[in-house]
Structure formats: structure tokens, C-alpha cells
Copies of this chain bind each other. A is one copy, B any other.
């Protein structure tokens, strides 16, 4: 085997993450940039695999030999000896996988200390207490993380000693106390595992390295990888062995953590904290208050300048904001870590755009540097971060639709509507929502449900509305009769205020202050770049002029899905819709439809006007008719009296319309095949509206077609209406949604008759995978946890299954019409990974909820740019 297992810091670089891990490769990169990094080497990920491949899971001899030779080089470089009684070489041992991955063993410091070298350390530092304290700390760390002894047992010995000495703080123990503690620790180790604490530094090192490798497969690490969908190719961790430097060697020593720019705002200001005479953990622990990094300039201008120089060099080199750690040992600056810094969405945008101005990034690189999912934060109202942090949440539900909402509690849609009319801000609280609640959902600031998942009715509709929603909050109990909400042990009544954070799922029992989003400046610049590079057309799902206006503000290029049934639910027309459903013959049905038509026409006119010539895909009536009928006894009675029909006849119709599997029932174009007069009315309303509004561009969409013949039957009706209204010159198209697998399978036949397709991937997923969106919550999360699906297929397109069907559709359709226009609407249209997939398979457009238009744009631009590469 001629494989190389161990690399000195001078042998690697930042591109070797998969061999050296993230931390290690960046240490190499800094070394090669001439930045002072404490010397060291990396036992590579290859060595980790070799360890796992060995039958007894131990380090292979060649690995041991290799790091031994690196250890010898280190001794030479430092002029110190490992375990030396005069001036011992001490090292830290740290894990480091290719991506940051909590759960594994973290760090062992001061490795190399033993009964001899502790004396050397004392001698060299002229600080006996420091040496023995380091030794006992090392034993404690090593004993716990390497030898797997309960950490509390060491703490107990420490506490016992303090009690014995009658002191309060560790710092009150002197060198002799600590010396005696070391002896107690030795006895403890022997007692616990029947072994001596290893005195040989090389044995310590071997054990440390093996412990890191072994921790790759401990439970926490496995769970972390599963939960975070870490790809299988990320396989193993490296071990970084590095010479110790000390920030706690007096007032000329210190340590700090910095970001090269402000991670919260993105401003180009050096940002960070430091503490003199301290170790890394002291900065984080919060016992002493660290100083802002700018204070270092006053304290030690030279050092500060050196640090700023490294900051500039690293940013220029990595062309990204860095999160760095440094230590000052007796006036000498060492860089211990650099990595890409975590930042808020606002900071992401600010930094990317600034870096283009500064010439550090190209526009394309800037576009690629931002996570589309993250900018969602910028598109919704948010709670004031500070206040929210200080407030305790009552419960956490599913973050179903982002944003912040504050309002008084209402328990039904009617109350929500009424109070909203009075100018009150309300939160609609329901066990679950149904289409009957639409008006109330629209009127509410936010929605809280106690049942249903991320794709429940409440969640889907709320996201469409860009409205804050927390779904499936199981810890909240609703008593609809008494109108109470019990949550976190408190009982809330109607009119009590609550606050919802739809991005985190947190529910608060108070009014929290809200901050509105601003989509200007850097954000606008970024979006202009995205527009420049994307290939996909980004449209929006919208049913109202208001939502359409919002989406246009966010850059939508038209409507990709206008659900006409949402208009059917409005109070002014729902009764006409019910009349239509209750009609016993075509004549009565037509009479009722005639009442709805002027409303529909006005709806479409409003939308066309806002669109100013941009196209609108208008879907004909889709849901099963029973959704329009009342459910509760008292509502049935009310409707009966309003429509002057008997309660029994309504109940009979409800029973007749009952379906075992409404998802697969009498809906979509099936309604129109059986009752063509419904499509006729809708087509008439569309054409009349289009004739009234300049440049209106309706694309009429027939839902749920699975067979070209059902499509053509309805198409003929629409074309006849167009002729009857002399609307042939309207700039219109007729097409279908691809929702039924059979439509995909016969896409060539359909394409011949259609002007466009739009994938309804929600339904396509339901049917292709055989999951009901309303029911799958019971097992789908577990399916994702078990890795059966990588991601929830209702959130990200299931490429291997549904995606294959989509590809087939595209290829069949384009075989018939090479330039055939194909898009996607529905939930997946707002998911960046799905948008990228849509780009890859050659779709023309993506439609998503208004508030996700910028996300989809950015994702589309990134997909196009990745494609360029």
C-alpha cells in the first residue's frame, strides 16, 4: 500500500477537504499563505477508513509509523521532545470531518503530559500550578472522552478536594492540591476501567487518534448525519494534531474569536471579541466579559495590525467572510482556525453585493454564494430579534409558513372575518383548517393549528398567502365549545393576544414587536443579477389582485396558477355556488352559474389589470364539489333557509357527494366533462374580462386531465365560447396541468392538443408515490428519518420517482412539439432544490407563492450558473 495517510500542515491545501477534513485543510491553507499557525499534522480521512477496514478496528501499523515520523519532524521543528522532563512538546488532538459535524469527539488539549513532562512544563513556564492544573485538566478530558469514564466522577473528586480545602473556586487550589488531585484521578481511572492512566505520550496519542476515529460512528454522530442528510460519500473524519499554544500565559497572552465582517448586518467591519490571559473556552463561557476586537488596537497596535492583515489576506484569499480564531502566546500571534462564517440572510446579501463592488467576487459568484432558502427570512415580517430571544415560547409547532404574526385569538373563520372588518388583528386558531376557513385565514394575521403537517391544508394555503402559520402544534389543546386554547399550562380565551413565529414554529403568550421586511438596496441589486442569469421564467401562484400585486413587487413574471375555486368561496357568491351544486337539472345549474359569472369576470379583470399584459394561467374549477357545502348541522340549517331548500336535500347531496378517496374522485376536469356548463361559464368570464382589459393574456388551464379525450371535450367548449364572444383575437392559450401519472405517460398525445403544460407536482407526487398529502403525516416523517426518502417528497421533488415521470413528460411532449412550453406550479415551485431540478430537465417556467418568488429566482439563477460550469 503506497497510500499516504498523514499530512504535515505544509503538505496540504484548502481543496483537500475530503482527505484532510475542513479544519485541517484550512490550517494547511493558512500555513501555505505564510500565516502563523502552530505546527502540526493531520491523520487523514484515508487513515480513518483504513482504521475501519481493519478487522479489529485499530490503527494499521503503516498509519502509526507515518504519524510517528511526523511527530519526529514536529519535535525537530519545535526543538522540544514529546514527554520531555525539561521542555515537553504538548499537542492538541481535534477531530475534523469534510463538513462541520457535531456529535463526534471534539478536543483533547495538552496531550503529552505525564508524571515526567509535567515537571518539564512547570520548569519551562516557571509556573508549577499552571503545569499541574494543565495535567489534571488533561487527565480529566482524556479520561472522559478517550477512556470513556463518566466526567462527573472527575468533577466529584475535584469538588471533594475543594470541600476538604474549604475553598470555593478551582483557582483557589494550589499546586500541591492539584498534584494530589492527579493522584486521585489515577486511582479513579484504575478503579473505573482497571487500567493505568497511560504515561507514554505516544500511547496517549494513539489512543486519542483512535478515540476520534471511533467517535465517527458513535450514536450522536450517526443521528446527526441522518438528521442532516449528510451524504454517504462524506465517510470518516481526520484528526488534527497540533502543537499547543497558550493564551493564558499572563497579560501578554490572550485569545479571540472574530468574523471578518459583521455576521449580523454584513457590514464590512472587523467584528469579534477577545480576552487577554485566557484560553479559548473562557471567551465562549461568558464568565469574564470579552472586549470588542477594536479594543485590541489600543492595547497592542502592532498585534492588531498583524491580525487585521491576516483578516484581509484570508478574506481576499477565500473571497468569503471568515470566522477565525486566534491565540496570542507571550506576544506572538497564532491563527488557530479559519472557516466560512455563518451569517444572517441580510448579511449574506450585503456581503455578496459588497464583495462584487470590492472586486472580490464576480456577479455570478455573488449570486451563487447565497442560500436561496435563507433569504426567505428577508421576505416576511420578523419579530425584533432581541425581544424574541428574551421571551419564553409556550410551545413549538411545525414552522409551516414563515413570518411573524401578532393578534388576538379567534376560534373560527367567521369571527376572524368579522373582527378583521372592525380593524382588529387576529390569529385564527383551529384544530385543522378546511376550504371553508379560507376567508378567515385571509382575514387573520396568522394561523395556528393543532393537527396536520407541513403540507396540511392550513400550511399549504398559508404559504400561498405568504401568511405566517404554525401547524400541528400538538402541545396546544383547543376546546372549540368553550373557546379556549390551552398551551404551556396557560388557558387563553378569545381576544387574548398571542404571537406566532412561523419560521421557527414558536408560539408566545404575549404581543411581540414586529419588524417589516425591506426589499431594496443590496437585495434589489442581487435580484437584478439573478434575473440576468436565470433561464427559467418565475411566475406566481395567486388568486387575487392583491396577491398578484405583492408578487409583481417581488418580481413575478406572470401568474403560473390562479385557482378559480378560491373565488367561489367568497361570501357574496358561495350561495350561488351551492345553488349550482344542489341544482337537480342543467337548467337550474346554468341559472346558478349565471349568477357567479359576473363575479368571476370582475375577479379576472382585477387580476389582468395588475398583470399589465403579463400572462396568467387560470385553472378551471378543480376541487370536489362537497368542499363547497356546509358541514356542521347549524351551517346546513342556515344554508337551507337562505337557499329555501330543505335540510334533507342538502344532506342528501352531501351524502351523494361523499367519497372514500376524494383525492382520486370526482374533481378537476371530471367535473367539467360531466357538467360542461361550469367550464362554459368560467371560459365566458375569462374571455369577457380579457376583452375588457388591454393586453390581457389568459392561459386557460384544464386540471387533472389524464386522458387526451377528456381534455379535448373541454377544450372544444372553451373554443366555442371564444367564437361566440368573438374573442379569437384575445392572446390566449389552452393547456393542462400534469397531475395524474397517466397524463405523463401519454404526454405526447396531450401535447398535440395543448399549448402548454404545468406540472401539479403535489398531486403528481400523491399519485405517483401513493401518498395522500393529508394522511401521510402519520408515516412520512418516519420514512424520511429512516432514509427511505432523502427528503419529504412534498417539499422537494422526488427525483428518482416523480422526477423520472416529469422527465418522461418533457421528452414525450417535446418529441411532438420541440418548443412546447412546460412549467411547474404548486409547493415545489418555491423549493430551491426542486427549482434546480426543473432547470435541469428543461422546463420553461416555475410558479410559486408570491413570497417565494425571489427565492425561486435566485435558485433559478444558481441552477443556470451551475449549468454554465
For A704, the chain B residues whose CB sits under 8 A away are 770
CA distance A798 to B741 in the complex (A): 13
A802 touches B742 (CB 8 A): yes
- Shortest Cβ gap from A331 to chain B (Å): 58
Please give me the residue from chain B that is nearest to A749 by CB atom: B800
Known: A782-B673, A801-B706. A664 touches B788 (CB 8 A): no
- A783 interfacial by beta-carbon distance below 8 Å: yes
Contact with B along A642-682 (1 / 0, CB 8 A): 00000000000000000111111110001001100000000
- Shortest Cβ gap from A134 to chain B (Å): 50
The interface centre, meaning the residue of A710, A746, A775 with most chain B CB atoms within 10 A of its CB, is A775
- A719 interfacial by beta-carbon distance below 8 Å: no
- A772 interfacial by beta-carbon distance below 8 Å: yes
The interface centre, meaning the residue of A662, A706, A766, A787 with most chain B CB atoms within 10 A of its CB, is A706
B783 touches A769 (CB 8 A): no
A772 touches B740 (CB 8 A): no
B662 touches A788 (CB 8 A): no
The listed residue (B709, B739, B740, B783) touching A673 by CB distance below 8 A is: B783
The listed residue (B659, B666, B709, B770) touching A664 by CB distance below 8 A is: B770
B663 touches A804 (CB 8 A): no
Within 8 A of B (CB), among A838-859: none
The listed residue (B742, B779, B788, B789) touching A768 by CB distance below 8 A is: B742
CA distance A763 to B769 in the complex (A): 12
- A767 interfacial by beta-carbon distance below 8 Å: yes
- A713 interfacial by beta-carbon distance below 8 Å: yes
A778 touches B673 (CB 8 A): no
CA distance A185 to B345 in the complex (A): 96
B771 touches A801 (CB 8 A): no
For A660, the chain B residues whose CB sits under 8 A away are 662-663, 772, 774-775
- A707 interfacial by beta-carbon distance below 8 Å: yes
A768 touches B786 (CB 8 A): no
- Shortest Cβ gap from A217 to chain B (Å): 20
- A745 interfacial by beta-carbon distance below 8 Å: yes
Known: A769-B740, A783-B673, A786-B709. A746 touches B801 (CB 8 A): yes
A779 touches B670 (CB 8 A): yes
Kindly list the 6 A-B residue pairs having the minimum CB-CB distance in the complex, ordered from nearest: A661-B772, A664-B772, A742-B801, A740-B770, A660-B774, A665-B775
Q: Which residues of A contact B (CB under 8 A)?
A: 659-666, 670, 673-674, 704, 706-707, 709-710, 713, 739-742, 745-746, 749, 763, 766-772, 774-776, 778-779, 782-783, 786-789, 798, 800-802, 804-805
Given contacts A663-B663, A664-B770, A745-B805, 9 further A-B contacts (CB under 8 A): A660-B775, A661-B774, A665-B772, A665-B775, A665-B778, A673-B782, A673-B788, A674-B779, A739-B770
* Chain A to chain B contacts (Cβ below 8 Å), 29 pairs: A659-B775, A660-B663, A660-B774, A661-B662, A662-B775, A663-B663, A663-B772, A664-B766, A664-B767, A664-B770, A665-B775, A665-B778, A666-B775, A670-B779, A673-B786, A673-B788, A704-B770, A706-B769, A706-B801, A709-B788, A710-B788, A742-B770, A742-B798, A742-B801, A745-B800, A745-B801, A746-B800, A746-B804, A767-B768
